[in-house]
Amino acid sequence: MSPGECLRCKGLKLLCGKAECPLLTQYRVRAGVNKMLSKDICDASPPGIFVGWKGYPKVQMGPMVSIGDLHGYDPHLLDDPGRWYGSGIEDIITYRSSLIRSKQRLEVNSARDPGYKLKEFQELVLSIKPVDVEMLFSKIPKFHILFSPMSEPMPPSAPLEKFSLEGTPSIPVSVDKIHSDTDLNAKDALCELHRCGYDEYYLTKILSAGTLGIGKKRRLVPTRWSITAVDDILGKKLIEEIRDLPSVDEYLVFENRYLGNRFEILFIPGEFEFENIECWLPGSVWSTGEVNIIEEYESRKGRRGYAVRQGGGYYAARLPILEKMFGARRKGKVVCMREIGEEYYLPVGVWEVRENVKRALSKEPERFSSLEESLSYIKGKLRVDIGRYTKVSRIIEREKTQRTLLRWLEG
């Protein structure tokens, strides 16, 4: 859409094809925010932090603070996507607009020997409960929400001049122990904390703040990179754990729909393989005006390169599927089909993929005795013809054309 077309539409005709006008969505939220913005804010941090990637290895980073009692939300909610499931896009924008993101430029290697200020930032992020802070900005923050396909929408921001912890961070003993262990590499630290029950959102923040890893190698990690790094590291560890598990013995279909995203997840008997297929419908974010389907695949030997065509969404979908296999003590081939409709008119980050898949896997699956039956069932759920999916699917193509030794012996 050109500015001229937006002016002609004024959010009434939806000429862009989206279900809602992105500009008006922001304007509706802006009304109550501007009056709360000031240069000096003393309130609770979720706790939260954001590390940018532009200018790497010298990046903009800083903690976030909530804006008074603007909407009466628990500060922890504002930076915890794991609790957002069921919220609409406008609700999510409201959560994020209730925060201010501070920023100052730091070298990523400063985490190797953090100064007093960075140590305070790290203590804040390690906390599992909101912490009162005081921030003085060099200018009054302006309302502007930035949307990313990777991270949650970015709240209003301003350069940070002064920062102080007014409350005491609540840091669990298990976390403090691993943070203090400068001989433990970051991968092992993440896996140990995940085993202890800490979720991906918490792990992403503490990795991003440079609190994990071998002392001389610690560094700040841009948030968008740390999100995928956590999903990938934990996923690779789980692949090792499920390698010797028995296979599922029937075809299972798990499904869920949220924020205009429909997921149909097919488990097929056999060794672990994973395939993620995204189908973007006209009117959805990133839409070109026609149906676009992109696929990424992983054999039982694992991936060598990054899933470029899908980015972080691939790893966000894979992790909960691997967690499900590990918990059920069964492995299999998995085809995850994601269909994105026009209701998804603004990107809110890959947490939406992760939570959609988690919800699907928490339900009782539909069970089938053959690939044909399971695909026939999925066909009735999707808006795009199932043939468009199976045409690009390597797993389904092989299932249709190749016979295993067991099938051959059975005749």
Per domain, the residue ranges of the chain are: 17-165, 173-242, 251-410
In the predicted model, residues of the chain with pLDDT beneath 70 are: 1-8, 10-13, 17-19, 22-36, 68-71, 403-411
Residue whose structure tokens are 């001389």: 216
The predicted structure's pLDDT at residue 68: 62
Three-state SS annotation for the chain:
CCHHHHHHHCCCCCCCCCCCCHHHHHHHHHCCCHHHCCCEEEEEECCCEEECCCCCCEEEEEEEEECCCCCCCCHHHHHCHHHCCCCCHHHHHHHHHCEEEEEEEEEHHHHHCCCHHHHHHHHHHHCCCCEEEEEEECCCCCCCCECCCCCCCECCEEEEEEEEECCCCCCCHHHHHHHHCCCCCHHHHHHHHHHCCCCHHHHHHHHHCCCCCCHHHCCCCCHHHHHHHHHHHHHHHHHHHHCCCCECCCEEEEEEEECCEEEEEEEECCCCEEEEEEEECCCCCCCCCCCEEEEEEECCCCCCCCCCCCCHHHHHHHHHHHHHHHHHCCECEEEEEEEECCCCCCCCCCHHHHHHHHHHHCCCCEEECCHHHHHHHHHCCCCCCHHHHHHHCHHHHHHHHCCCHHHHHHC
The predicted structure's pLDDT at residue 12: 64
- Rounded Cα–Cα distance for residues 206 and 6 (Å): 41
- Rounded Cα–Cα distance for residues 100 and 156 (Å): 5
The predicted structure's pLDDT at residue 369: 96
Q: Record the pTM.
A: 0.90
